[in-house]
Chain A
Amino acid sequence: MRSRIYTIISGHFKSWYRSKSNIFWTIAFPLLLIVLFGAIFGNGSTKFDLYLQNQDLNANTPTMYSQGYISVLNNTGAFNLHTVAAGQTVQQALDYVKSDAQLHNRGQRLLVIPSGFNTTLNSGNDATIQLYMDQSDQASASLAGIVRSVTISYAASIAGAPDHLNLQQVGIVTRNIRYIDFFIPGVIGMTLLTTGVFGAVNTNGRYRELKIIKKLATTPLSKIEWILGMVGYQMILATISLVVILFFGYALFGVTATIDIYTVGLVVAAALLFPGIGMVLANFVKEAESADAAANAITFPMMFLAGTFWPRETLPDIMKIIANFMPLTYVNDGLRDALIYAEPAQALTNTIIALGLAAFFIVLGSVLMNWKEE
């Protein structure tokens, strides 16, 4: 006798791969997003990106020497300069550079002109400009060479200062995370969200309208077996999405990911969590078409706020707070920690939160689901 759960899983799976639109939304659409976003943000300019913090201001205006130095940097035509607010400490500035560079797919390099730069040079003392960069990064090494030449030639142009202007290179460790590295786990999270929520809305809403659930309820199949079948199917689908997206991420953009126990935990969590949310929806909104609309209303804001396309740090404060209540946030963050950032501690926290939410929603969905009529 074939197991009933196996039959449910295989029925769902056949229905999935025989539908062109299912294949599109589960596989082709995420890949399309990756290619599009990768192409748009991957086209870096031939100039070097350099973050610049000029701390040497006089009544909010750059002092003469600091302004002069920046002009020379600009005149080389080698840099895209991105200004960092002067009031920030170096650490704050570095944090900002890290997230902004990730978002815009730039290298993490910060040049700091210290406060008192002008005065020090005027008084004939040594002034030091600091360049924070990852020394293992090839592009940064070339950039450092140009900055060094600029510094030397600028020092030469200041009468009597050639020996007083120094460039200090400060090594920082960057993980060299590009936008595409950030984006790929987000696309996986988004795909798990949509296939899970819509899959459950479809099987529990539409199958109810088609009387398939009613028919199954007159057989020995139990509600638990039905739900387990659906979750099993979602796990298979989630695994396929994960593998396909990671494969194309690697093949097209060289994104390397680590699949570990947290990734597995997150896939399991997602395969319970999102169908659970879909089941809750399908039970509150009985008509299949309205349930579909409700699923859209829930998934879209989650997709945009939970850090799928851009880091949550860039959201307005109120949106950041809302994002904290979105289950996708923890799946996205967890996947990033596990797959890309290799941060096991954070991956663990996010996996635990995601599993907790998964347990809550799948139990709620199961309790709410009417197997018999009433």
Chain B
Amino acid sequence: MSNGQPAPFPGQSDKIVQVENLSKKYGENVAVNGISFSLTKGEVFAFLGPNGAGKTTTVEILECLRNPTGGQAKVLGYDVSKRSDQAEIRKRIGVLPQDFNAIDRLTVRENINYFGAMFKHQLDADKLIELVDLKDKRDEQFKRLSGGLKQRVGLAVSLVNDPDVVFLDEPTTGLDPRARRDVWGVVERLKSQGKTVFLTTHYMDEAEYLADIVSIIDHGQIIASGTPDQLIDTHGGKKTLIIREAGEEGLKQLPLGLPKAELRNAGDIAIPLNNGELTNILMGLGATPLHDKEIEVRRPTLDDVFLNLTGRRVSEEGN
């Protein structure tokens, strides 16, 4: 679904975004501190980090809304710092700003056409309405929609110029779980259409579920990058065996010689697993009163990756 002429990509034709040593300072405050990454065509890239890590600043530099203090950033081969290049970038990117609201008293369809009219070419509003599954609400005024539906209008608006790359800044913040899933569904559809998506989020599960590539940013610096699996394998730590609701009593009933177990909330026992240990531990448990408890093996998540890399959980940062 690419439109327009191919952008001049010197050397690397499939790089949609290239960032090298990018930094942004506000007075003494360093918001982004020398970060580098790139984004390949057709990829869903998640920029993951707590609030205030520098995600929005970075994405707004790529959207030509802010000027970088140092380093270089190219979008579709165009330099975000050059005024003449910015005009080209604006024609070909799709943007959903964080906390975006469309115009209250315009209908869904009118809003899509409103933002579409800013571009020379716009996609058919009805097709976009279908893509974000809002057919029933097409003629409803924006202000009457629920938070989840509003966000889907935002997604449609961000796609209205059939962009070569879509920037979604915290697209599911503040939504209930069902609405988050709906937004994920739209991003998956974009992915299946081969769209390149740049997503910022502080939700670990979102990045893990949607992204091909994740870069974790903290205090303005990228601290790890890779596929979700690579990140988990490298930084996630061990798998954990969980015995549900076993309580203090359960701890005493564990067979001897196991790795150090700990009690977690709701009385779950967690035992870190080394490779090849699982069968032995399960056999050992079979001989104890714990054998009829619910047992599961939990894989580390990106949350564990962030914890291991920073010593904090993202959820502790507050939203």
Residues of chain A touching chain B, judged by Cβ–Cβ distance below 8 Å, are 1-4, 6-7, 11, 14-15, 18-19, 210-212, 214-221, 372-374
Contacts and interface: CB of A to CB of B under 8 A. Distances in A.
B110 interface: yes
Contacts of A214: 65, 97, 100
Given A11-B103, A18-B105, A219 B97 contact: no
B205 interface: no
Given A15-B103, A18-B105, A372-B65, A1 B120 contact: yes
Interface of A is mostly: loop
Interface string B64-97: 1111000000000000000000010011010111
B315 interface: no
Interface of B: 60, 63-67, 87, 90-91, 93, 95-106, 110, 113-115, 117-120, 141, 157, 161
19 contacts: A1-B120, A7-B117, A211-B99, A214-B65, A214-B100, A215-B96, A215-B100, A215-B157, A217-B65, A218-B90, A218-B95, A218-B97, A219-B119, A219-B161, A220-B87, A220-B91, A372-B64, A372-B66, A374-B66
Nearest to B62: A218
Given A7-B117, A15-B105, A220-B120, 17 more contacts: A6-B117, A7-B118, A11-B114, A14-B110, A19-B105, A211-B98, A212-B102, A214-B65, A215-B157, A216-B115, A216-B118, A218-B65, A221-B118, A372-B65, A372-B66, A373-B66, A374-B67
Given A215-B95, A373-B60, A15 B90 contact: no
B28 to A, nearest CB: 16
A218 B93 contact: yes
Contacts of A2: 117
A373 B65 contact: yes
A11 B106 CA distance: 7
A374 B24 CA distance: 11
A69 to B, nearest CB: 68
B119 A220 contact: yes
A278 B90 CA distance: 28
A372 B86 CA distance: 12
B87 to A, nearest CB: 7
Nearest to A219: B118
A217 B86 CA distance: 11
Contacts of B95: 215, 218
Nearest to B160: A219
Contacts of A374: 66-67
Contacts of A218: 63-65, 90, 93, 95, 97
Contacts of B93: 218
Contact of A4 (B64, B96, B117): B117
Contact of B100 (A1, A15, A211, A373): A211
Contacts of B87: 220
